[in-house]
Structure 1
C-alpha cells in the first residue's frame, strides 16, 4: 500500500476525531437535503472505516459550501480539532440511521425471554411484550429506520430492559401499576442528557408495567 502523498509527504492516518467530525458534516448535509438517507448511510460507513485523512475528503467535497476549502480537520498540515463527547455521540448515533425498512416490529415472550441486540434493524415503531418473562431491546449497535424511534413496552409480571446509546434523547412516558416504569443513565456514561441538541435522534418509550418493570437505561457502547 502506498503511504505517501503526491508531494512525497507521509499520508496522515485518520483519528477518531477526524471520522466523527466527517460524520457530523455528513449529518448536516443530510439535514440540508443535500444527501439522501441511503447516501448518508453509505458515506458515514466509509467515514468510520477510513484509515487515512485523504479518504475522508471525497466524502465531503460535493456537499461543502466551498469544496476547495474543506473543514480544517481534513487539512493534513493542521492538527485535528477537539470535538466534545456530546457532538461525537450524536454523530455516531446519526450514522446509525439507515432509512431502511423491514425491521423487527415485535419482540414477545411468555414465561421466557426475547432479545433484540447487536446489529439489528429497528423500525420507527417497535413493540415489546412479556408475560412472566424478560425482554431485552438493545439499540447501541442497531440500525435505525429513522431518527425518531417509538418503542411500546408492556410487561405483565415480568421485565423489559431498553438500552439506548449516548447521543439519543430519551422520552419515557409509561405507567407502572404495582410495578415500575422509568429511565436512568448508567454511571459510566459521559454525555449528560441535558447537553444534547434539540435535533438529536429521539427514542420514545411508552407503555405499561403491571406487577413488573420497564427500565430504560442510557449506556455507553461496550
Structure 2
C-alpha cells in the first residue's frame, strides 16, 4: 500500500500533503477494509510486464494499434513487409518506454500522440535513414520514448499522427460517443 501511494504521488495523482495523510492512515490500519478507501480514487495498477514486446514485420508486415498495454521495453523488426507501432489510443502510465528498432528491408513507423516526446540520439540511420518528425513539447505525465537501433535498408520514422489519422480518430471518437 505504501508503494502504491508513493507511486501515485510520483505520478502527480496526489500531492505530498495528501500522501502524508494516506500513509499515516495506511500504517495505522487494522484491517484490509481500512485500506480500500485509500486507493479508491486512483486508477487500477498496471499489470507487471513479463518482458519486452517483440514485433516482427516478417514478409507481410505487422501493425500494433488501437488500445493495447504498453510495456516498458519493445523490440521492433521491420522485416520485409514493414512494421508500425501506433500509440495514439494507448494509455501509458510509464515514465519511459525503451524501443529497440531495426528497420531492415521493410522499415518501421512509430506514431506517438501529441505531447509525447522521443529521445533519438542513440539511433543509427543505417542505409535507409532515420527521421524524427516529433516535437519537443512534452506534456506532464506522458512517457518519454527512448529509441535505439538502426534504420536498416528501409529506414525508421517516428512522428505524431498525420491529418488522415487525426480525422479517423475523430470519427472513431464520435461513433463511441453516439
Q: TM (normalized to structure 1)?
A: 0.52
Quick one: distance in 2 between partners of 1:153 and 1:31? Answer: 37
Equivalent residues of 1:174, 1:182 under 8 A apart? no
Give the structure 1 partner of residue 34 of structure 2.
Answer: none
Using the TM superposition, give the Cα deviation of residue 31 of structure 1 relative to its aligned residue in structure 2, in angstroms: 6.9
1:210 to 138, 145, 152: 152
What residue ranges of structure 1 are gaps of 5+ in the alignment? 1-24, 43-97, 186-192
Q: For residue 149 of structure 2, give the secondary structure of its aligned residue in structure 1.
A: strand
Quick one: distance in 2 between partners of 1:31 and 1:126? Answer: 32
Equivalent residues of 2:92, 2:143 under 8 A apart? no
Using the TM superposition, give the Cα deviation of residue 176 of structure 1 relative to its aligned residue in structure 2, in angstroms: 1.7
Using the TM superposition, give the Cα deviation of residue 143 of structure 1 relative to its aligned residue in structure 2, in angstroms: 3.1
Q: For residue 43 of structure 2, give the secondary structure of its aligned residue in structure 1.
A: helix
Q: For residue 150 of structure 2, give the secondary structure of its aligned residue in structure 1.
A: strand
Quick one: distance in 1 between partners of 2:68 and 2:79? Answer: 23
Q: For residue 143 of structure 1, give the secondary structure of its aligned residue in structure 2.
A: coil
Q: Which is strand-richer, 1 or 2?
A: 1
Equivalent residues of 2:11, 2:141 under 8 A apart? no
Quick one: distance in 1 between partners of 2:111 and 2:58? Answer: 21
Q: For residue 57 of structure 2, give the secondary structure of its aligned residue in structure 1.
A: strand
Q: Which runs of 4+ in 1 moved over 4 A?
A: 30-33, 35-39, 197-200
Distance change (3 Å), C-alpha of 1:113 and 1:39: farther
Size of the aligned set, in residue pairs, is 136
Kindly report the root-mean-square deviation, in angstroms, between the aligned alpha carbons of the 2 structures.
Answer: 3.3
Q: Deviations over 1:3-52 (max 9, x none)?
A: xxxxxxxxxxxxxxxxxxxxxx995235748499995325xxxxxxxxxx
Distance change (3 Å), C-alpha of 1:37 and 1:144: farther
1:177 to 126, 138, 142: 126
Give the structure 2 partner of residue 147 of structure 1.
Answer: 95
Equivalent residues of 1:133, 1:157 under 8 A apart? yes
What residue ranges of structure 2 are gaps of 5+ in the alignment? 1-8, 23-37, 170-178
Using the TM superposition, give the Cα deviation of residue 196 of structure 1 relative to its aligned residue in structure 2, in angstroms: 2.9
Distance change (3 Å), C-alpha of 1:121 and 1:39: farther
Distance change (3 Å), C-alpha of 1:141 and 1:26: farther
Q: TM (normalized to structure 2)?
A: 0.63
Q: Deviations over 1:70-94 (max 9, x none)?
A: xxxxxxxxxxxxxxxxxxxxxxxxx
Give the structure 2 partner of residue 101 of structure 1.
Answer: 48
